[in-house]
Structure 1
Amino acid sequence: MRDASFAFLVHPRTRLAPDMGLIWAPLARVPERYYDLALRRLPLRPFTMAGVQIDGRRVGRIVMVPYGARHLLEAPVEGRARVHRAVDVAARTGAEVVGLGALTATVTRGGSSLSGRTDVGVTNGNAFTAAIVDTQARQLLDDRPGAPGRRVAVVGASGSVGGAVSELLAADAAVDHLSLIARSRPRLEALADRIGPRAPTTIGTDLTGLADADLVILLTASADALVRPEHLAPGAVVLDATQPRNTAPDLLVARPDVTIVDGGIVSIPSLRLTGGDIGLPNGRAYACFAETALLSLTGHTGHFCLGVPTLEQVAHTRALAADLAHLGFTPAAPTSFGKPLAGTAALVAA
């Protein structure tokens, strides 16, 4: 493993107080309305909030973009400028590769608005995220004893990760049927054309398409919990790989027959954050973070995944993960809202 220096950008999610409390515990007690007011009116600057250690060595840092999900999405031009300023901070602190976490990728068009930078390499993390979600989805389909159905719905299918996951699942007939759901029908039609005869496919622009799905994969860029109890089939499994999440814990109260699995979580046992955290315990990371680390630790230079990942990029991240298998970089044991998911086999890398 080479000496490395990378930065990964994060931002507070939909509810700001809990995430600010990860930086300093007393901040979790500040009323939400005060955060909202401050973030809309104050010119807050990005800052380094934590160091990253892997295998006992400091290899990177976490840079906070101090604006919530809605603040980034509701003012995308200013949101993009805020992300660019955070990349400036990362570059000044010596990062060679910068990863875009959560909606920092969305507001920069998957990092495409940063393509002109030559001082750092940028990746949106979507290639390894697609690889991990594909592996998780296949394992969940295989781990449903007595439930042979393999009908899969991908919500956010026209997006960067959603399109790649849909093509991966269709490539070797891993599913019986694909329901592709997103807001843009033209993009869905183009995706369905690419998939072609490899898997029976339908498209739709609303969540009624979830009603027949055995497995629902959530991959949208939304600040809200979108999926409601009435959307889901009896006994459905939901793989929620969104940040901010598109599911809420009360969904399980209304539908105890449904299983919700945290998607896109990677095991890196020696991973430690110093000075703050990003809402996951030591040893676990989001797949977009893991992609950034993989590139940095293996000596990648320049940009990697900007915009939509190619299947070749997905395969490349899987190869990098295999090269660093002694450090982990495999799907983490399944959890639901951060708690171990009883009765589900630990996932293994593809």
Structure 2
Amino acid sequence: MNVLCGMTFAFLVHPRADLRQDMARLAKPLGLVPTIVYDHALRRLPLAPLRFASVGLNGREVGRLILVPFGARHLLTDRRTGARKVAQAVDLAAATGADIVGLGGLTSPVTNGGRQLARRTDIGITNGNAFTAATVHRQVRALLRTASAGRIAVVGATGSVGSAVTRLLARDGLGADLLLVARDRSRLDPLTSAVGARSATDLAAIAACDVVVLLTAAADALIGAEHLGRGAVVLDATQPRNTGPDLLRRRPDVRVLDGGVVDVPGLMLRGGSIGLPPGQAFACLAETMLLSLSGHRGHFSLGRPTLEQVDRMVEIADRFRDQGFRPAAPSSFGRPIAPSACVAPAAASGLTGVAA
């Protein structure tokens, strides 16, 4: 049994695509306020960050969640204001005694993966992307064993998590099986050449792939029924999600799995919710917890994580394996599913890769 370090952490969260639903996590009556009211308030009012929930592990408080009062669309469309609000939330984290703070959701990309906060010496910063990449990598490998699929699309391949997952899969010898999808050719082409993959800037190209890994920074659903090949399995590791439940209604031949979620059985949030059941955490939150539990001081993952940082997070997670920190059992839009159900019906019938 590991002896837990006495450090504390903070983790930044923000309202996602459905503002009313997310605000209701603060207090149920807030769910009665129309979304348009929240949209106006978050954009116009000088709202300060606030402590959202305490994080307990095995009955002991180890950290806290801090709410950045800016929605997902706001963060992407007004990055200057978003970065300022994130900095204010980091100020609050430091003032409340946190030793390290993790950047959840879009608070990471809006601060260039935390690089804009690198000069801070009063608190450590991590974007959580090293352990997220490690977790998604393990989930992809499990899918490949289950589905016997050979073609893998990484959407958002040049991003912080996407580039790390790409390099991990290439290290496994799967470079030739990868289709890397991103908008910026100046970043995409060097990564493609480095790992020996194929590339595309158009989402239509993913129709030829068996497994689609979503790792983009967007405020809304990005992948539609028209983008996927028959029998595709989608691993959505984005927050906010890049898929919607209507995708399954329109395409019953595909599977959409939740990515980047880990089991931490002793975890309990008090005062708020992040949309996961007790005992589960997003991998970016888990990275912040693990660094705190291990006694790490200073910054960790800023910008794009190196493979050395990914491997380091795997080592730390192994040290605390008695606390969990392993990929959660398969689920789809929060609903548990059997591992055998991870294979789409069409895939099981040998129809993978046939464009819909």
TM-score by length of 2: 0.93
Give 1:190 deviation, angstroms: 1.1
**Structure 1 residue identity aligned to 2:168:** L
**Structure 2 residue identity aligned to 1:337:** F
Structure 1 residue 192 corresponds to structure 2 residue 210: no
Structure 1 residue 33 corresponds to structure 2 residue 33: no
**Structure 1 residue identity aligned to 2:52:** M
- Tell whether the 8 Å contact from 2:207 to 2:227 is kept in structure 1 after alignment: yes
Aligned to 1:288: 284
Aligned to 1:161: 161
Give 1:344 deviation, angstroms: 3.4
Aligned to 2:349: none
Question: Could you give the per-residue CA deviations for residues 63-82 of structure 1, whole angstroms, max 9, x where no partner exists?
Answer: 00011001111110111000
Question: Could you give the per-residue CA deviations for residues 112-166 of structure 1, whole angstroms, max 9, x where no partner exists?
Answer: 000000000000000000000000001011112xxx3310000000100000101
Structure 1 residue 313 corresponds to structure 2 residue 309: yes
Aligned to 1:131: 134
- Find the aligned partners of 1:274 and 1:330 in 2 and give their Cα distance: 22
Question: Could you give the per-residue CA deviations for residues 239-286 of structure 1, whole angstroms, max 9, x where no partner exists?
Answer: 000000000000000000100000000100000001111111110000
Give 1:167 deviation, angstroms: 0.8
Structure 1 residue 121 corresponds to structure 2 residue 124: yes
Give 1:174 deviation, angstroms: 3.9
Matches within 5 A, 1:200-349: 201-344=197-340
- Find the aligned partners of 2:123 and 2:288 in 1 and give their Cα distance: 12
Question: Could you give the per-residue CA deviations for residues 212-259 of structure 1, whole angstroms, max 9, x where no partner exists?
Answer: 110000000000101011110111000000000000000000000100
Give 1:88 deviation, angstroms: 0.2
TM-score by length of 1: 0.95
Give 1:345 deviation, angstroms: 8.0
- Tell whether the 8 Å contact from 2:175 to 2:195 is kept in structure 1 after alignment: no
- In the alignment of these two chains, the number of paired residues is 339
RMSD between aligned residues: 1.2
- Find the aligned partners of 1:343 and 1:36 in 2 and give their Cα distance: 39
- Tell whether the 8 Å contact from 1:130 to 1:162 is kept in structure 2 after alignment: yes
CA spacing shift, 1:259–1:175, aligned 2, 3 Å: farther
- Find the aligned partners of 1:328 and 1:247 in 2 and give their Cα distance: 27
Aligned to 1:179: 179
- Tell whether the 8 Å contact from 1:150 to 1:175 is kept in structure 2 after alignment: no
Aligned to 1:150: 150
Give 1:176 deviation, angstroms: 5.5
Pick aligned residue for 2:81 from 78, 82, 89: 78
Aligned to 1:45: 48
**Structure 2 residue identity aligned to 1:342:** A
Gaps of 5+ in 1: none
Pick aligned residue for 1:17 from 11, 16, 20: 20
Give 1:175 deviation, angstroms: 6.4
Q: Percent identity?
A: 57
Give 1:41 deviation, angstroms: 1.1
- Tell whether the 8 Å contact from 1:151 to 1:215 is kept in structure 2 after alignment: yes
Superposed structure 1 runs of 4+ greater than 4 Å apart? none
- Tell whether the 8 Å contact from 1:216 to 1:236 is kept in structure 2 after alignment: yes
- Find the aligned partners of 2:268 and 2:231 in 1 and give their Cα distance: 36
Matches within 5 A, 1:86-101: 86-101=89-104
- Find the aligned partners of 1:343 and 1:169 in 2 and give their Cα distance: 21
